[in-house]
Amino acid sequence: MSPVANYRSTTDHAELDRVLASAAGAAGAWAAGGADARAVALEGVADALEAGAGELVPVAARESSLPQGRLESELTRTVFQLRLFAEVLRDGRYLDVRIDHADPDWPMGAPRPDLRRYLQPIGPVLVFAASNFPFAFSVAGGDSASALAAGNPVVVKAHPGHPELSRLTGDIVSEALRRAEAPAGVFSVVYGQEAGVAAVQDRRIKAAGFTGSITGGRALFDLAHGRPEPIPFYGEMGSNNPVFVTLAAAQARAQEIAEGFIESFTLGAGQFCTKPGTLFVPAGSGMVEAIKQAGLGGVHGMLNRRIAEGFLSAAGDLRNHPEVEVLLSGPDSPDGPGPVVLATTAEAMLADPTALQSEVFGPASLVVEYHDLDQAVQVAGTYAGQLTAGIFGQDDCPVQDLLAVLTQIAGRVIWNQWPTGVSVTYAQHHGGPYPATTAVTSTSVGTAAINRFLRPVAYQNLPQHLLPAELQDENPLGLPQMIDGQ
């Protein structure tokens, strides 16, 4: 387990100022270089990371305690999402090009001028890296990929949990961008909390992405919105990801569900924002017994000592709740604490939702016995915003009311699958009402994530030669265009 403050150096004020100045200086050229050039550059970064796997993965394993196989597949995902954003750039729909020709008879009572609008880069983006995905949500992770793809310079605030990996990844990304003739300053990594706090308040930063704890995310959100010029702050924070098992599902496949549950909540030592933190099971259905029977093995070590201590403290608070008992516990390993399944009742949760719905980051989950679907609906309605919520049911289960409530509280609603393992796709949504995220209208995973770092600009009555190529009648870039609303 690496100590949390293992980084060798922090970025001082003068260096941060140079980084931000060069990011601001790179914005115009990176945006103007065009989407095709950015697609090639992103693919160059993807290739370089892939080629660097042999060097990157061992450093990641040493700094994060995560298993090599997991890190290899995380790197594959990281490389894939860079390539997927290259595809988004070539597709061009993300620009949302709209052209309205002048119309003297426009029925609003006044002639319509020629108006053309598309989405442009928002400006330099600050990305706060996460600890638990040293590749996919860190230096070269999703926020960096979407912000770069959108045409923005990126400044990553490295996570102190993997400083050497951050530096190594940053060097590989920067070198690949240099080879792709991206402007100097388009990508940098800075180190230390002070640098992050200063950068999020700097006028040259125009948006920020964050993945981490509610406490840290809210503090940075407050700074971003307290600026003289507030900026969008996209924080992906905590989630408890409740999963409900119906009586029919429990009767049909208690053992399968119990095993899947244990596999999902202990995956990565429970250090996922989508870990199923609560499993609602019908009282007397045999689910509790099936979970007991499935048993708990050990898990690998946690990311660092601070996170392990946080886990032990939060899990301890939950275990010491008067209405909670221990259902199962797994062995501690030399590298970290063992997993635990706790148990309570829906009545207890209704009486004290704040305590029993708080996130425990690490290998713990709470099994909650409920009596009937009405009670399940009632307790689901007490949840704050969640990244995911799920149901294990049979096709004929009358779960419509439960689904409706889960849709209100969560960004992704899942049927008969576990929430861990967030696929990077066109239709993915990784977000949700606060405190799952600070920006309920946006996603941090999937192709729609690019929209967070774009702003619309409209041009009125410009002659063709002064219009951006994206908006010209000739459509030299061959983009999808909405013309006169069609």
> Do residues 427 and 410 lie in contact, with contact meaning Cβ atoms separated by under 8 Å?
no
The one segment of 193-201, 219-227, 255-263, 372-380 that binds a second copy by CB under 8 A = 219-227
Indicate the residue among 73 and 251 with the shorter CB distance to a second copy: 73
What is the rounded distance in angstroms from the CA atom of residue 42 to the CA atom of residue 79?
9
Q: Per-residue x/- mask for a second copy, residues 408 to 447, rule CB under 8 A?
A: --xxxxxxxx---x-xxxxxxx-x-xxx--xxxxxx--xx
Q: Per-residue x/- mask for a second copy, residues 230 to 249, rule CB under 8 A?
A: x-x-----------------
What region does 420 belong to: left with phi over 0, alpha with psi -120 to 50, or beta?
Answer: beta
List C-alpha distances in Å: 334 to 69, 235, 266, 302.
20, 34, 17, 11
Q: How far is the CB of 426 from a second copy (least distance, A)?
A: 4
User: Of 43, 74, 236, 470, which is the active-site residue?
Assistant: 236
What is the rounded distance in angstroms from the CA atom of residue 418 to the CA atom of residue 388?
10
- Our answer to whether residue 273 is catalytic in this structure is yes
User: Where do we find the tokens 């009405």?
Assistant: 374
Indicate the residue among 81 and 169 with the shorter CB distance to a second copy: 81
The one segment of 108-116, 155-163, 190-198, 359-367 that binds a second copy by CB under 8 A = 108-116
- Our answer to whether residue 256 is catalytic in this structure is no
Which of 107, 334, 476, 478: binder of a second copy (CB under 8 A)?
107
List C-alpha distances in Å: 369 to 255, 280, 349.
17, 6, 10
What is the rounded distance in angstroms from the CA atom of residue 328 to the CA atom of residue 295?
7
Indicate the residue among 21 and 440 with the shorter CB distance to a second copy: 440
| Tokens read off for 90 | 């070539």
Q: How far is the CB of 281 from a second copy (least distance, A)?
A: 20
The one segment of 190-198, 289-297, 341-349, 478-486 that binds a second copy by CB under 8 A = 478-486
List C-alpha distances in Å: 452 to 34, 142, 162, 391, 455.
18, 12, 26, 30, 8
Indicate the residue among 84 and 315 with the shorter CB distance to a second copy: 84
User: Of 43, 63, 74, 273, which is the active-site residue?
Assistant: 273
Which of 3, 58, 113, 284: binder of a second copy (CB under 8 A)?
113
Q: How far is the CB of 455 from a second copy (least distance, A)?
A: 5
Query: Residue 401 interacts with a second copy (CB under 8 A)?
Result: no
What is the rounded distance in angstroms from the CA atom of residue 422 to the CA atom of residue 442?
16
Angle at 198 between CA 451 and CA 441, to 5 degrees: 25
Query: Residue 54 interacts with a second copy (CB under 8 A)?
Result: no
Query: Residue 80 interacts with a second copy (CB under 8 A)?
Result: yes
What is the rounded distance in angstroms from the CA atom of residue 64 to the CA atom of residue 90?
35
What residues act catalytically? Answer: 236, 273
